[in-house]
Structure 1
Amino acid sequence: MTIINSTFKIFATLTKQTSSHETTNYTSVSHLRVDKGEINKHNGHLKGLIICAFLTCMGLTFLILACAVPTPKIFYPFFVLLFYALSVLPVFIAKRTVPNGETNPKTEFALFLTAGMVLSAFALPIVLAHSSVITWTACTLTIISNLINYGTIFGYAMRDEEPYGSMF
């Protein structure tokens, strides 16, 4: 499917040109006929993408607040961004190397590494707050950010009906 066809499909959802005398399951834009079920499926993916973007922005806002509000110019909570980026890599690599979504030791080890990185993202602000490097308010805001961002990542990864979700 080319970009032009996708653009026509999106345009078809916006215009909704149907005859008032007959009810059809198709929407037409010039020569293109698109099934309305496919349009609803496309809109569902678009809504999911918008929700993921909004939640990610909200989580990053809490992370920025953790750095700026309690004690200005203390940027240690930003180190959890490394865990956000690194936690998806083992699953991404394992998913690309294992055919047909089968489980094997490689996939299980990737899930183990991902769980360790997610746990580390929650433990880092607690250790920093316990050692008085950051305040407990910054720790709380960072943990709220972790909950929102990892919830978004998990929701995105589990969006399909495969055993472990689509996992990218």
Structure 2
Amino acid sequence: MTFLILACAVPTPKIFYPFFVLIFYVLSVLPVFIAKRTTPGGETNPKTEFALFLTAGMVLSAFALPVVLAHTAVISWMACTLTLISNVINYSTMFGYAMRDEGFEAPYGGMF
């Protein structure tokens, strides 16, 4: 989160467009949580696969948004770089939490 705050404050003050990736941080985990609650046991099914597909699309969008904003000169490339670093750190933390081992019967780790 520090890199995301720096992306808004350091290059050009008072431009808060990089904070829009917070929407993707929140929305990217919802499909997996919903699919896990509705899936019986630890098996995979089309709901789980579709939830993983939606999550991958939201993660990709979180990386694409700052690049598009920087390409159209809405934010600077330095803000884009800081936002991308923030994305890598935040999503690797979420992935590490998701892959913690809660049991041997889970096919994609503990969260899935």
Runs of 4+ residues over 3 Å off in structure 1? none
Count, aligned residues: 109
Instruction: Report the TM-score when normalising by structure 1.
Output: 0.64
Which protein is richer in strand relative to its size? 1
Kindly provide the amino acid, as one letter, of the partner of residue 32 in structure 2.
Answer: V
Separation (CA, whole Å) in 2 of partners of 1:151 and 1:61: 15
Identical amino acids, percent of aligned pairs: 84
User: Deviation digits for residues 52-71 of structure 1, max 9, x if unmatched?
Assistant: xxxxxxxx000000000000
Instruction: Report the TM-score when normalising by structure 2.
Output: 0.95
Is 1:118 the counterpart of 2:59 in the alignment?
yes
Mapping of residues 16-165 of structure 1, within 5 Å: 60-160=1-101, 161=103, 162-165=106-109
* Aligned residue in 2 for 1:17: none
What is the CA distance between 1:164 and its match in structure 2?
A: 1.1
* Aligned residue in 1 for 2:111: 167
**CA contact 2:44–2:107 (8 Å) conserved in 1:** no
* Aligned residue in 2 for 1:9: none
Greater gyration radius: 1
What is the CA distance between 1:101 and its match in structure 2?
A: 1.5
Separation (CA, whole Å) in 2 of partners of 1:67 and 1:101: 41
What is the CA distance between 1:112 and its match in structure 2?
A: 0.2
